[in-house]
Amino acid sequence: MNLGAPAKELPFRSEAGHCPRMVENDRILGVDPGARATGWAVIEARGTALGFVEAGVIRARAGAGRPDRLAAIFQGLCDVVDRLAPGAAAVEETFVNASPRDALVLGEARGVALAAPAAKGLGVSEYAANTVKKSVVGRGHADKRQVQMMVRVLLPTAGTLAADAADALAVAICHAHHRGGAGARARRSA
């Protein structure tokens, strides 16, 4: 080993306490957080071309208490990151028009959805629901059926997905459209 030679630039970043991740990795993890069901999806983005990798829904066992549900979300997302190796993550901001208790419970799930990929060393961006809808459908007040239809048009190999997984796929598509732009930088949380 030649200690006098300049350090070779490696194609990954490493931060204290985190595993190195490939910077040029074009895989994006999209997350639609929920207290009972958290959707996730991974896509590959190469320029303007998008490819479906995998999607699913994380659910805690029936009757699980809140700490166990949150742990299931955290572990499930960490497992997805370890297995599919995305280079970035995007999480939908939640909008709750219900009771303060419901907002708190959903906020906890969202916090875990932000923390899990960040704990694995990924940069995490956040997008408002209207931004996700506008990126996928073309208008910010599209309904769920329109979003799911456009997801199937954009990524036909995804097939028919559970609603939470399809929503997560829309979040990943949104990030692919915004990555590197001022909107994604301004919303980056990690």
What residues are annotated to the active site?
Answer: 32, 92, 164
Backbone dihedral angles phi then psi of residue 53, each to the nearest 5 degrees: -105, -60
Q: Do residues 139 and 133 make contact, with C-beta atoms less than 8 angstroms apart?
A: yes
Strand 12-13, strand 21-22: pairing: antiparallel
Backbone dihedral angles phi then psi of residue 52, each to the nearest 5 degrees: -80, 135
From CA 50, how far away is CA 11, in angstroms rounded? Answer: 22
SS3 call for 40: strand
Q: How far is CA 85 from CA 75, 77, 170, in A?
A: 15, 11, 19
Residue with tokens 């350090």: 7
Degrees, nearest 5: CA angle 181-186-190: 105
Residue 157 makes CB contacts below 8 A (sequence gap 6+) with 51, 52
User: Which amino acid type is present at position 149?
Assistant: M
